[in-house]
A and B are shown apart, each in its own frame.
Chain A
Amino acid sequence: MSIRGDTLRFKLTAVLPALLLFSIIYLVSIGFMLTTSVFKWDSLYIEGFVGIRNYVRMFADRVESPTFYRAVLNNLSWSSIAAFVHIPLAVLTAIILAGNCRGWKVYRVILFLPHVISITAFAVIYKQVFNPSFGLLRGLFGALGIASLRDVNWLFDPAWAWPSIIVTWVFHVGFFAVIVMADIVSIPTELYESAQIDGASAARRAVSITLPLVRNTVGTCVILDITGGLKYFEGLYLMTNGGPNYRTETLALYLFQKLQLLQNSYANAIGVALLALGLFVVLVANRAFRIGRSAY
């Protein structure tokens, strides 16, 4: 047996199973979704070609479009909060944790907890926290004597529902803080020492040394956070299911709801919109952070 043939056979047997399975789920299904989104398919069988009708319904239908636009708006709102609030909070937390402050290990464990507990369990917990008759928030605002906030029905008040959803994740910074922190502690100590001799303050060192050096990692975190947000489904499904009055609708949820109504091809058109939005947001983030070589 020749060495070359042996090596080639290994390469094929090592790569092909993974590539084949990956292609079935990722490429075939996405191709199928793109194709069927231009057909009529409201039952078990695909009934016929309808061109862009599903997309017209999405963008310009008086009944459907408001929900669709609300979903896109919410997805964009989520992505911006992820990039401009969530990740900056995580970076600040990482800088503080890496600064050898007292009890950093305990803090790290507590802050990381939300990442090991499922979103599903957290959604049920937050549903109780926001409960208008016995929830934790009602108890807290009652104890503080703030009656106007005590009586808010957080998840069912059109003005409060979306901010409440944001609150369920925006303070959970542990996961990204840990990733950024690992990057910070790998920065050579000499860089900080010489800056300190030059009289640079802690804040100044963070801005001029730490931040530029962790840019790549932070950019990767932004992308992971945004794509995670676009995939986020179970929390909304269990807490509000898009209500009240579509205020907490997102594309992932809207897609699932249409699927349950067996509006298959319309659901696939929403899927295409979600896919396009995802690629758009990732491209923007990639540009903004000028991500070079990184693991993702």
Chain B
Amino acid sequence: MGRKAQTSTRSPMSFLVGALRQAYLLFFAAITAFPLVWVVISSFKTNRSILGSALSLPDTLHFENYATAATMTKVIVPFTNSIIVTTGAVALNLFLSFAAAFAIARFPSRWLRTVALIFSLGVLIPINSAILPIKLIMTRLGLGNSLPGLIILYAILGLPIGVLVLRSFLLSVPVAIDESARIDGTGWWTILFRIIMPVSQSGIATVAIWQAIMAWNEFLFAILLISSEANRTLQIAIRFFLGMFFFDYGALFAMLVIVIVPIVLVFVIFQERVIAGLTAGAIKG
């Protein structure tokens, strides 16, 4: 990101302003990070030391909390489920929203503008108001208690954002790119996959990131639809873990660390991509 011009003169006033800015950011960073740090520290303490003093440091690093947490929760099953659901939902959503967005952006006709308007309504509607009908529809279609059901539902729930962001991105792709191919008689689907998709990578990345965060973190529809333990995603599994560790807080904190660390690592590694992707298409289009 480009930087702004700023006062380079080092007057006492500008020093004070700089200190105030640092204090402000430090406050927000602390209030965000402190609970997380506290969870990590507590995950290495014994139950007795956790109950005895909230702020104390662990006497030694009690890794046995992690062993207890991993074996008791069989965390690998919901973890795998979440990866399957997130990957599937992102792929399905990208395919559906890219095709629709390209048609809407490329052919400005009245009925396609109406279609775009219908999708944009979806962003404004609190769709969780209709959880009962959605549950009935999914169950009736045989997609109730299943991972494919969640994949399809999450892909649909992400359509409004996907279509709108990709549409505004594709509006900036010059028409000339596909016109020569069109003269050669290439079909539209070939053009979409071979010519438009390769030049739209940053728009696609934006939408993929939106959808992945949404699908990975979704809770309400998962708990509504999934009834068997084998199909639980990570988010709803957390709820059941909560009851499991009622008297073993060390293991509870270890479980939280196990759940949080992978996504935090992925974010810290890809942070430039995540943030750039989020802002590139989300607002300006």
Report which A residues bind B (CB closer than 8 A): 6-7, 10-11, 13-15, 17-19, 21-22, 24-26, 28-30, 32-33, 36, 89, 92-93, 96-104, 107-121, 124-129, 133-136, 138-140, 142-143, 171-174, 178-179, 181-186, 189, 192-193, 196, 202, 217, 220, 223, 227, 230-231, 233-234, 238, 251-252, 255-256, 259, 264, 267-268, 270-272, 274-275, 278-279, 282, 294-296
Contact B187 A10 (CB under 8 A): yes
Contact A272 B129 (CB under 8 A): yes
CB A112 to nearest CB in B, in angstroms, measures 7
Contact A183 B283 (CB under 8 A): yes
B2 at the interface (CB under 8 A from A): yes
Closest residue on chain B to residue A129 by CB atoms = B35
* Residue in B31, B102, B219, B266 whose beta carbon sits within 8 Å of that of A120 in the complex: B219
Report which B residues bind A (CB closer than 8 A): 1-7, 17-18, 21-22, 24-25, 28-29, 31-36, 38-39, 42, 50-55, 96-97, 99-100, 102-104, 107, 112, 115, 118-134, 136-137, 152-153, 155-157, 159-160, 163-165, 168, 187-189, 192, 213, 216-217, 219-220, 234-236, 238-239, 242, 249, 252-253, 256, 259-260, 263-264, 266-268, 271, 274-275, 278-285
Contact A96 B25 (CB under 8 A): yes
* Residue in A109, A114, A121, A223 whose beta carbon sits within 8 Å of that of B256 in the complex: A121
Contact A171 B156 (CB under 8 A): no
Q: Given A128-B39, A134-B50 in contact, is the A109-B115 Cβ separation under 8 Å?
A: no
Contact B264 A113 (CB under 8 A): yes
Contact B131 A113 (CB under 8 A): no
Alpha-carbon separation in the docked complex, A231 to B282 (Å): 20
Alpha-carbon separation in the docked complex, A111 to B31 (Å): 9
Contact B33 A120 (CB under 8 A): no
Question: Residues of A contacting B153 with CB < 8 Å?
Answer: 25
Question: Residues of A contacting B121 with CB < 8 Å?
Answer: 26
Alpha-carbon separation in the docked complex, A238 to B7 (Å): 48
Alpha-carbon separation in the docked complex, A18 to B107 (Å): 17
Contact B259 A15 (CB under 8 A): no
* Residue in B22, B52, B238 whose beta carbon sits within 8 Å of that of A102 in the complex: B22
Q: Given A101-B21, A120-B219 in contact, is the A7-B107 Cβ separation under 8 Å?
A: yes
Contact B99 A115 (CB under 8 A): no
Contact A139 B39 (CB under 8 A): no
Q: Given A14-B99, A15-B115, A296-B120 in contact, is the A185-B32 Cβ separation under 8 Å?
A: no
Question: Residues of B contacting A278 with CB < 8 Å?
Answer: 124-126, 129
Q: Given A21-B96, A120-B235 in contact, is the A115-B213 Cβ separation under 8 Å?
A: yes
Closest residue on chain B to residue A224 by CB atoms = B123
CB A99 to nearest CB in B, in angstroms, measures 6
Closest residue on chain A to residue B100 by CB atoms = A18
CB B200 to nearest CB in A, in angstroms, measures 14
CB B57 to nearest CB in A, in angstroms, measures 12
Alpha-carbon separation in the docked complex, A112 to B33 (Å): 10
Contact A271 B6 (CB under 8 A): no
* Residue in B1, B33, B51, B118 whose beta carbon sits within 8 Å of that of A19 in the complex: B118
Contact A275 B129 (CB under 8 A): yes
- Name B's interface SS: helix
CB A140 to nearest CB in B, in angstroms, measures 7
Alpha-carbon separation in the docked complex, A6 to B189 (Å): 10
CB B224 to nearest CB in A, in angstroms, measures 8
Q: Given A116-B213, A182-B1 in contact, is the A109-B124 Cβ separation under 8 Å?
A: no
Contact A271 B102 (CB under 8 A): no
Q: Given A19-B115, A26-B122, A113-B36 in contact, is the A134-B54 Cβ separation under 8 Å?
A: yes
Question: Residues of B contacting A267 with CB < 8 Å?
Answer: 132
Alpha-carbon separation in the docked complex, A182 to B256 (Å): 32
Contact A136 B100 (CB under 8 A): no
Closest residue on chain A to residue B236 by CB atoms = A120
Instruction: Name 28 interchain pairs, CB-CB below 8 A, sorted by A.
Output: A11-B107, A14-B102, A14-B103, A14-B192, A18-B100, A21-B156, A26-B122, A30-B130, A109-B268, A110-B32, A110-B33, A111-B28, A112-B274, A117-B36, A118-B217, A120-B217, A121-B238, A125-B35, A127-B242, A128-B249, A140-B55, A172-B32, A174-B32, A233-B220, A234-B235, A252-B126, A274-B126, A274-B128
* Residue in B21, B28, B130, B156 whose beta carbon sits within 8 Å of that of A173 in the complex: B28
Contact B217 A119 (CB under 8 A): yes
Sorted from nearest, which 8 A-B pairs have the closest CB atoms?
A139-B54, A182-B279, A29-B133, A10-B188, A271-B129, A234-B219, A14-B103, A118-B217
Question: Residues of A contacting B24 with CB < 8 Å?
Answer: 92-93, 96
Contact B129 A24 (CB under 8 A): no
Contact A128 B29 (CB under 8 A): no
Contact A189 B5 (CB under 8 A): yes
Question: Residues of A contacting B216 with CB < 8 Å?
Answer: 118
* Residue in A107, A136, A184, A255 whose beta carbon sits within 8 Å of that of B25 in the complex: A107
Question: Residues of B contacting A139 with CB < 8 Å?
Answer: 53-55
* Residue in B4, B119, B163 whose beta carbon sits within 8 Å of that of A192 in the complex: B4
Closest residue on chain B to residue A31 by CB atoms = B133
Contact A10 B189 (CB under 8 A): yes
CB B222 to nearest CB in A, in angstroms, measures 10
Question: Residues of A contacting B1 with CB < 8 Å?
Answer: 98, 181-182, 185
CB B248 to nearest CB in A, in angstroms, measures 13
CB A271 to nearest CB in B, in angstroms, measures 4
